[in-house]
A and B are shown apart, each in its own frame.
Chain A
Amino acid sequence: MSTQPAGNDDDPGVDAVAVATTPVPSQRAVARARRAASLRRFVRAYASRRAGMLGLAILLVFTLLALLAPVLFPAEMLDIIETVDNDALAPPSGEFWLGTDENGRSVLAVLVWGARASLIVGLAASLISMLLGTLIGIGSGHFRGPFGSALQRLTDWFLVIPFIPLVVVLAAVLGQRGLGTIVLVLGVTSWPGTARLVRAQTLSVEGRPYLERAKALGGSDWQQMSRHVLPNVMPLVVANTTLTVAIVILSETTLAFLGLGDPFLDSWGTMLDKATDAGAASTGAWWYLLPPGVCVIFVVLAFTLIGRALEAVLDPRLGRD
């Protein structure tokens, strides 16, 4: 591990050390190299986990579809005015691989566009949840007095709020049930899980001597939290957020299915909602009902597998990084 350094002895003349300032550029360069090396290590560790790679593959497929949606299926295909001439609820055929919905739109087209909607909502809401959760989690773990307790109470409070009534209330308060509302609601209800995790990790880091040293050196609360707590907490947050995306997508689907989503948004949830409204179950229009459900399952599975793999790789108990 360490080689014997030359001159570990102490010779007199402590002031007479002429120091070149050249170390600085090389220290940055080497720090960069170290980061690159640890990134390579991370990638290798992740790549060795088959479940995680499977999840990543599935996600890649859906992301590609979501990105290419406008190319594969031009927006006009979703305009019900354009498609009014098509047969409604027609089974799969050569022209429409997954049949048509009650407005004559290609189910496949709506499905692919739905991927966009679901992924965007999932990621946006998870981002909010991650930011809120991390901030509040670190805050409640670091500050000991009334402020920390208040944050902790806030977390507990939000944790137990039933999710669907909150959506209804927020939607009523905010007036419209657009995409923004959905993202906001989902973000606001998912952060407590992250916050609790972050708080636990913060408490464990706070107990370590180097935090006390940071305080003794004169570091402010902000400096202590950003230099020492945050880097230790981030890996856990990343892994947890990935799992949160899965939950958020599922929640959005639930909301839409219950009719509480944005009716103008073509997400998988709204597809399921419209399909049941159109009586797809009783008329046997499986091509309308099944695909969105299956897609949700696959995407949620993908994020779960990725999240679990990240947790395993980034577990701080397994060493540095």
Chain B
Amino acid sequence: MAVLELRDVHLTYRTAQGPVPAVRGVDLSVDGGEVLGLAGESGCGKSSLVACVLRLQPRSATVTGQVLVGGENVQTMSWRRLRAVRWGEAAVVFQGALHSLNPIQRIGRQLVEPILLHDSAATPRTAADKVAGLLAQVGLPETHADSYPHQLSGGQKQRVMIALALTCDPQVLIADEPTTALDVMVQAQVLELLVGIARQRDMGVVIISHDLSVLATTCHRVAVMYAGRVVELGPAQELFEHARHPYVRALARAFPTIGEARSRYAPAGLPGDPPFPDRLPGGCPFHPRCADAVDECSSVDVRLRPAGPGRVAACVHVGAGVG
């Protein structure tokens, strides 16, 4: 059963300059125990998508489609139910979350707070025990419950944020750029932790990153977003090694394989910049930067097409039935 399902989700912001479509029709699903990677760069809509899952989008934004957490639509549920779902069913570790710890409260106290909020049967003693267990699960010694945030390193703070997300035993955990601003070794530790949690708790985990190579080795499946849509989806390793969409191919090449002669002195980049959601090019939004663009790319907006078993890609060059 899918713990998280997005069906044709659209999110449009209302601004002084008119409506800005940040998410333009996304379909995704995550099962319990599965790790889904979501790759994309600035402006692709991934942060907006994350906000939808907990109905955290600003009031001026309109959301259509269904956002199902454990089968219930988050966007239409009652306020009371929403408060229970937030953190209790789905939790998010936001980008740059390590900076959002309250600097004047001890870690233990901050972790205990959501437990007491959500579980009416919890007492301070049971909550403290649970916090100790959580800290152990994220690889931190119990004594850190008495520490203040400034006494912890970046990697340790990120672990605390993950522990915080797990306090109410959600079914879904979304980690938005959990490894940026961390050293490579700490990144590896955090990713290992997230994969372990997914397995042990049978949780659906979504990892968002702009580094496709990291997602390829950590996740089961990867979806790549561009200009508010998913442009390719498939098994992680396969997608990384044999991407069908030109943008995904370029993204895969952006981080070179060390030891490979062809990337030595040959950094591979894409000309131009990712488009802003308020001025998308006509037709396929990627066509101005695409090396394989043909005439129809500037006028025909391609949707996802089958590109092999369990794979879809949104490109004219991906013909239906062509593997």
**Highest count of chain B CB atoms <10 Å: which of A2, A4, A8, A9:** A4
Contacting residues, chain B, for A2 (C-beta < 8 A): 273, 276
Are B271's CB and A8's CB within 8 A?
yes
Residues of chain A contacted by B276 (CB below 8 angstroms): 1-2
**B321–chain A nearest beta-carbon distance, Å:** 35
Chain B contact surface mostly: loop
Shortest CB distance A213–B (Å) = 21
Range of interface residues on B (Cβ < 8 Å): under 10
> In the complex, what residues of A have CB within 8 A of residue B259's CB?
none
> Which residues between 1 and 25 of chain A lie within 8 Å of chain B, taking CB atoms?
1-2, 4, 8-9
Contact with A along B247-274 (1 / 0, CB 8 A): 0000000000000000000000001110
Question: Across the two chains, which residue of chain B brings its CB closest to A7?
Answer: B271
Please, which residues of chain A bring their CB within 8 A of the CB of B272? 4, 8
Assess whether B288 is interfacial by the CB under 8 Å rule.
Answer: yes
B43 to chain A, nearest CB (A): 10
A1→B42 CA distance, assembly (Å): 14
Note all chain B residues with C-beta closer than 8 A to A4: 272-273, 288
Interface string of B276-290 (1 = CB under 8 A from A): 100000000000100
B70 to chain A, nearest CB (A): 39
Q: Which residues of B contact A8 (CB under 8 A)?
A: 271-272
Q: Which residues of A contact B273 (CB under 8 A)?
A: 2, 4
Complex Cα gap A9–B271 (Å): 7
Residue of B with least CB distance to A1: B276
Closest B residue by C-beta to A3? B279
CA of A8 to CA of B270, assembled, Å: 11
Least CB distance from A8 to B in Å reads 6
Kindly state the separation between the CA atoms of A9 and B289 in the bound complex, as whole angstroms: 12
Least distance between A318 CB and chain B CB atoms (Å):
15
Docked Cα-Cα span, A58 to B199, in Å, equals: 71
Q: List 9 A-B contacts (CB under 8 A).
A: A1-B276, A2-B273, A2-B276, A4-B272, A4-B273, A4-B288, A8-B271, A8-B272, A9-B271
Q: Which 3 A-B pairs have the closest CB atoms?
A: A4-B272, A9-B271, A1-B276
